[in-house]
Amino acid sequence: MRLDMVKGLLSLIVKSASGLVEKGIEQFLIRGLGDLGMFLSRDKSLYPNNKLQSDFASAFLLKIRDLGTLTKEPKWKIHRFVISSSTLVE
């Protein structure tokens, strides 16, 4: 049940991100990705070993990797953060 809920949530987030790019408001997505990066950074200081969160963020980034041209930099910043978090967990 939990896995289905996570898959559904991930699907909804990816669909929303795609919709923003299709509607020409990619800048809103960029701000959201920036907020996600800040959240992950703050959350890491509270919960340094949150592998599930890192896995979810990685799956999201993988699904939106080809989405929009302006999102490359914020996606890369989050990816670097997730990679650094993953190496701390292992």
The type of residue at 46 is: L
Cα distance between residue 54 and residue 52, in whole Å: 5
**Token pair recorded at residue 19:** 């919709």
In this prediction, residue 90 carries a pLDDT of 44
Handedness of CA 43, 49, 53, 58 (dihedral sign): positive
Structure confidence at residue 61 (pLDDT): 85
Look at residues 71, 2, 85 and name the one whose alpha carbon lies nearest to residue 32: 71
For the chain, 90 residues long, give each residue's pLDDT as a single digit of tens: 677 887 888 888 889 999 998 999 989 999 998 888 888 878 777 777 677 877 888 888 888 888 877 888 888 878 777 777 655 444
> Residue ranges per domain, the chain?
2-89
CA distance 58 to 35: 16
- State the pLDDT at residue 87: 53
